[in-house]
Chain A
Amino acid sequence: DAGITQSPRHKVTETGTPVTLRCHQTENHRYMYWYRQDPGHGLRLIHYSYGVKDTDKGEVSDGYSVSRSKTEDFLLTLESATSSQTSVYFCAISDIPGGVGYYGYTFGSGTRLTVV
């Protein structure tokens, strides 16, 4: 009964192919975020959403696009996957901008993506 789920959990794809990762929440939170986590770089923001069809770029948005057609779903698309996009991708949700407050961000369990 997790409030946030990511799919798939693992994926291997070939260079140049498009890939879509899905984040689904049941908390009805307004804010959703996509981060990537890499050794030596920590968690870096890719894109985020502050409502249906409202999105903004983060620190490392090149090569990625997002869509949010429903409150509960936030999709991350790698338009043409490259080896540099091999990473662990995390989705997070919050009901307050920046998660400031008692509950902070709630993170999904991540998607491990390998681009070969």
Chain B
Amino acid sequence: TQLLEQSPQFLSIQEGENLTVYCNSSSVFSSLQWYRQEPGEGPVLLVTVVTGGEVKKLKRLTFQFGDARKDSSLHITAAQPGDTGLYLCAGMNYGGSQGNLIFGKGTKLSVKP
């Protein structure tokens, strides 16, 4: 069974600080996605990483896919209160008749002004 482990589970920081969230697995994934979820809403896709070693930047967010395609990280520079939310990583699971996504349990980020 493929599993995605996210750490830390909870993170509370002050505005302006930097942070890194990790997503690890013992399985190889063909791609990984990162989503952000705000209270009362569904997750929203931030990025998809496909190639081992790939780095993608989205304003103050930097996403990296591990060389072996088993892990990924999300780094936020100078966090702002608007970054508050639940960050989820997700990987493609080929079980069943069609592929579908499995999700990590998430990292709940709180950025205080």
Contacts and interface: CB of A to CB of B under 8 A. Distances in A.
Contact of A50 (B41, B42, B97): B97
A97 to B, nearest CB: 4
Nearest to B33: A104
B96 A56 contact: yes
Interface string B73-104: 00000000000000010101100111111111
19 contacts: A42-B88, A42-B103, A43-B43, A45-B101, A50-B97, A56-B96, A56-B98, A92-B42, A97-B98, A97-B99, A98-B98, A98-B99, A99-B33, A103-B45, A105-B45, A105-B90, A107-B43, A109-B40, A110-B40
Interface of A: 31, 33, 35, 40-45, 48, 50, 56-59, 90, 92, 97-110
